[in-house]
Amino acid sequence: MREVVSSPDAPAAIGPYSAGVRAGNLLFLSGSIPLDPATGQIVPGDVSAQATRVMENIKALLAAAGAEFRHVVKTTVFLADMNEFAAMNEVYATYFTAPFPARSTVQVARLPRDVRLEIEVVAVLD
C-alpha cells in the first residue's frame, strides 16, 4: 500500500511526481530543492542559505509522515559545485545526530531551476 505525503510547510511537487511516498514503514522523499513553500520561489543566497531551506522542507515532509531526522537512513545530495561541499555539510550536520544516515554526494551538471543543491531522503518509520 502506498500513501502520498505532502505538507503545507513544504513546496508542492512541480511535476508529475509526489513530494513523498510512504510504502509500508518506508518513506521516500523526492529530491528537495530550495523553494520557499509560501511563495514557490527559489530562496536567494549562497549554498548555506539554500541548504537550510532544503533541510526545512525535508523536515516538514518528515513531520507530515510522523517522522523526524532520526528516522532517516539514507540521503543523496546533488551539488552543482563540489567546492561548496563544506558549506553544505556544515548546515546538513545541524539536522542529524549519531547514528548518521548513509549518504552519497555527487556533483551534477545542472539541477532544476539552476539551484545549487538538491537532497533526497529515505527513512524508516516506527
**Domain segments of the chain as ranges:** 2-124
- Is the predicted pLDDT of residue 50 greater than 90, yes or no? yes
**What pLDDT, on a 0 to 100 scale, did the predictor assign at position 43?**
97
Structure confidence by residue, pLDDT tens digits, 68-92: 999 999 999 999 999 999 999 999 9
Contact at 8 Å (CB) between 95 and 57?
A: no
The rounded Cα 87 to chain-centroid distance in angstroms is 16
**What percentage of the chain exceeds 90 in pLDDT?**
97
* Ramachandran angles phi, psi of 117, nearest 5°: -155, 160
Place of cell 532544503: 54
- Distance CA(108)–CA(126), nearest Å, equals 33
- Is the predicted pLDDT of residue 54 greater than 90, yes or no? yes
Contact at 8 Å (CB) between 2 and 22?
A: yes
- Distance CA(122)–CA(126), nearest Å, equals 13
Confidence bin at 14 (pLDDT 50/70/90): confident
Domain 2-124 has what CATH class?
A: alpha beta
